[in-house]
Amino acid sequence: MIEALIKRAEAEFYPWVIENLTIDTPEQAKNASDMLAMGKAFDKSLEEARKAEKQPSIDEGKAIDAKYRPQQNRVQLAIGRLDDALITYHRKAKAEADALLKMQREEQETKRLAAEAALIETMMANRAKLEETKETGEVFEPVPLPVLPEPEAIIVEPVKQSIRGNMGTTTIAETFDYEIIDGDIIERSLCSPDLKKIKAKHQYDKQPIPGVLITVKSHTVSRFS
C-alpha cells in the first residue's frame, strides 16, 4: 500500500513542488490549490495506511497487557499493603523513640532543677546560720553543699530508615508536599510566591513557612538481593 502511494507521489506530486514556490497569476494559484488538495489527500492516505498497518501491533499489545494485568494488579495491591504497613510501623517506632527521648530529657531536667533548688536552699540556710552565730558567738559549722549531678547519658536507640531482611532491604524515604494556602503572608523573598524557592528554604532550615501547608509524604525504596 505504502509503496504504491510513494510511487504515485513521486510521479504526480513532488515534481510540481519546487523548493521556492511562488505564485504570481490566478492560473498558478489554481494549480497550487490543486496540488495542495492532492498533497493533503496523499497525507491522509498515508496516515490511514500507517494506522491500518500499526493496528495489529496495537491489538497485540492490548492482548499482552490484558494477559499480564490481573497478576500485576494483585502484586501491586500486595505491594501497596506492605508499603502502608511498613510506613505505619516506621512512624509508630519513630514516635515511640521520640517520646522516650523527650521523657528522659524531662526527667533529667527535673533532677537538675531539684538539685539546684536543694543547693540554693542549703546555701541560704548556711548564710542564715552564719548570721545567727555572729550574734550568739557559736562556732559556725556549715552544712556541706550538695553536689550537682552530672548530666546522665540519654540512651535511646535511633529508628533506622532502612529495614534489612534476609532477601532485601527497604528504606523509608520521606519527601514533602508544598501547597500555598495564603500567598499574602508569605515572606517577600519567596514570592511570586515561588514554590522552588519555598522548597529550597524549607530544605535548608526545616522551619515552617507562614502561608504554606507543608505535609510529609513517605514512600519505600526496596532492593532485592
> pLDDT tens track of the chain, all 225 residues?
678 878 777 777 777 776 667 788 888 888 888 878 888 888 888 899 899 999 999 999 999 999 999 999 998 999 899 988 988 998 898 888 888 888 888 888 888 888 888 888 888 888 888 887 877 778 778 888 887 777 666 666 667 778 887 878 888 887 888 888 888 888 877 777 788 888 888 888 888 888 888 888 876 666 655
User: Is 97 within 8 Å of 156 (Cβ atoms)?
Assistant: yes
Identify the domain boundary among 12, 47, 65. 65
Please state, in angstroms and rounded to a whole number, the distance separating the CA atoms of residues 204 and 194: 16
Identify the domain boundary among 49, 65, 81. 65
Range of the domain at 179: 162-224
**Residue 156 belongs to some domain of the structure:** no
Identify the domain boundary among 40, 65, 90. 65
Give the helix/strand (H/E) hosting 16. Answer: none
Whether the model pTM is above 0.75: no
**Cell of residue 3, nine digits:** 509503496
Given this model, what pLDDT does residue 143 score? 83
Total domain count, the chain: 2
Which residue's C-alpha cell is 519527601?
175
Given this model, what pLDDT does residue 127 score? 86
**Residue 143 belongs to some domain of the structure:** no
Sheet-wide strand order for 162-164: 162-164, 168-180, 212-224
**Cell of residue 2, nine digits:** 505504502
**Residue 152 belongs to some domain of the structure:** no
